[in-house]
Amino acid sequence: MDRLRIIGGRRLQGAVAVSGAKNAALPQIAAALISPHPVELTNLPAVSDVDNMLGVAQLYGARIERDAHATTIDAGALVPREVAYDTVRRMRATVLFLAPLLARFGAARVSLPGGCAIGARPVDLHLKALTALGAEVAVENGVIVASAAGELPGGRVVLGSPSVGATQTAMMAATAAAGESEIVNAAREPEVADLAACLVAMGARIEGAGTHRILVQGRTEWRPAKHHGIPDRIEAGTYAVAAAITGGQLELTNARMEHLAAVIQVLETMGASVWPSNRGLVVTGDGALRTADITTEPYPGFPTDLQAQFMALACCAPGTSLIRETIFENRFMHVPELMRLGADITLQGTTAAVRGGTPLKGAQVMATDLRASVSLVLAALAAEGETVINRVYHLDRGYEQLDRKLAQCGAEIERLRG
Ligand SMILES: CC(=O)N[C@H]1[C@@H](OP(=O)(O)OP(=O)(O)OC[C@H]2O[C@@H](n3ccc(=O)[nH]c3=O)[C@H](O)[C@@H]2O)O[C@H](CO)[C@@H](O)[C@@H]1O
Ligand SMILES: C=C(OP(=O)(O)O)C(=O)O
């Protein structure tokens, strides 16, 4: 298993190219299976989650062609099979194949995705959404079984909470329904709007994606499509913390300010400066960090996927920062590992009190999930001496060439193979 060795204390300086968003790419790969025509996706990040999602699409019979620039998914000859649990359990996003398969075949069987380190992550809202659109849904021996007698009629989906994945499931299923559908209390994340843009390019009629209320006209006439995915706002936010925590300056090319408003507000509260550039945005840290109180919320609030990274930053800000996690019940796996580096953190329920300002010191630490792992990388960049991070495969799920991008800006970082 690969490890990362980091010598902390280097000021980062330079430009980082932000890759395409993993969380936009995964639903779009699933969505390509709705249509019998080819879908060309560009700006897919080169990360293992994307490889695995494409692998599952292939198991369903999709033909995939990839070059350095584009990935074309041709689901013309899709087969209605069930993919083995062992293949789908590792990735939560595989549940997003359910709606496209149901739309395509009128029936689908998809294994429940596994729980993971950050919480139980049930899929009840996905199933309720499909039921509201007229599907019969049951869970049998760990497999979701969905079917429709003929066409799905469509209908009104009222989400109890604005789940990103359930909004995407509802939107995809509704494109193939007979009538008009409405999704109320929809998630407003940019990745939902980007999935809608991809589906619209494929022929769908969707209005309101990115707002609380989405309208979808059914009976889509699918056509060949091309779609360029949005940049990864979580990767951008991660490198913004890298600049702030090392007192450096990074230009984040491709990053979009409008996707990062809540994040930029916290960065500025903590003492970093952020301004737009021709190619994206620039983040500068002057070394004098301040505390912040952060609460994770659905978009446009502060994203849970940046909570761990900002906790690393708070460890370096003298005083007490309070960090409250409201999206996932168990997303504090990074806390004990940050404490190995000398961080002073107390956890009480869903709130972490971080008393920052005592210099961090390098140590051996363990990556536990994607964002927890990257928070350790950020803390290691600021720590005195050497940190070795074990189980780096978690990072490879969602960060394209993290070690190379950081090294190019002056980080002393090395991947130890094996
Ligand atoms: C591939 C992808 O895009 N992943 C992102 C997506 O995950 P994902 O789409 O899984 O996240 P959701 O928005 O669905 O989950 C939010 C909350 O709702 C709960 N829930 C969700 C569905 C459901 O049927 N029942 C239920 O109770 C979850 O357990 C969680 O507590 O949005 C999350 C919240 O921004 C991000 O952290 C993930 O990185
Ligand atoms: C939790 C994440 O991803 P997933 O939903 O794919 O597990 C993430 O990207 O931080």
User: DSSP string of 192-222?
Assistant: HHHHHHHHHHTT-EEE-BTBSEEEEE-S---
For residues 349-357, average pLDDT: 97
Q: Which atom of ligand 1 is nearest to the CA of 24?
A: 3
Q: Which atom of ligand 2 is nearest to the CA of 370?
A: 10
The verdict on the CB of residue 194 being under 6 Å from ligand 1 is no
**Is the pTM for the entire model greater than 0.95?**
yes
List the residue whose alpha carbon is closest to atom 10 of ligand 2: 305
Q: What is the pLDDT of residues 179-224, one digit of tens each?
A: 999 999 999 999 999 999 999 999 999 999 999 999 999 999 999 9
Residues with CB under 6 A from ligand 2: 23, 92-93, 305, 370-371, 398
Pick the range with the lowest mean pLDDT from 81-90, 136-145, 240-249, 343-352: 81-90
Q: CA nearest 395: which of 160, 157, 49?
A: 49
How does 277-305 read in b/e, with b if 16+ C-beta sit within 10 Å? eeebbbbbbeeebebbebebebbeebbbb
Specify the pLDDT at position 70: 98
Highest CATH level, class, for 22-228: alpha beta
Q: What is the pLDDT of residues 379-399, one digit of tens each?
A: 999 999 999 999 899 999 999
The verdict on the CB of residue 293 being under 6 Å from ligand 1 is no
Instruction: Give the residue, out of 370, 397, 402, with the most ligand 2 atoms within 8 A of its beta carbon, to mutate for a pocket test.
Output: 370
Q: Provide the pLDDT confidence category of residue 245 given band limits of 50, 70 and 90.
A: very high
- 116, 198, 316, 409: which one is catalytic? 116
**Residue 324 contacts by C-beta under 8 Å, 6 or more apart in sequence?**
293, 294, 295, 296, 350, 351, 352
Q: Using an 8 Å Cβ cutoff, are 359 and 289 in contact? A: no
116 is catalytic: yes
Specify the pLDDT at position 355: 98
User: Hey, which residues does 42 pair with through a beta bridge?
Assistant: 70, 228
| Region 3-19+231-416: CATH code | 3.65.10.10
Q: What is the pLDDT of residues 79-137, one digit of tens each?
A: 888 787 777 777 899 999 999 999 999 999 999 887 667 888 899 999 999 999 999 99
In the chain, which segments carry CATH 3.65.10.10? 3-19+231-416, 22-228
Q: Which atom of ligand 2 is nearest to the CA of 398?
A: 9
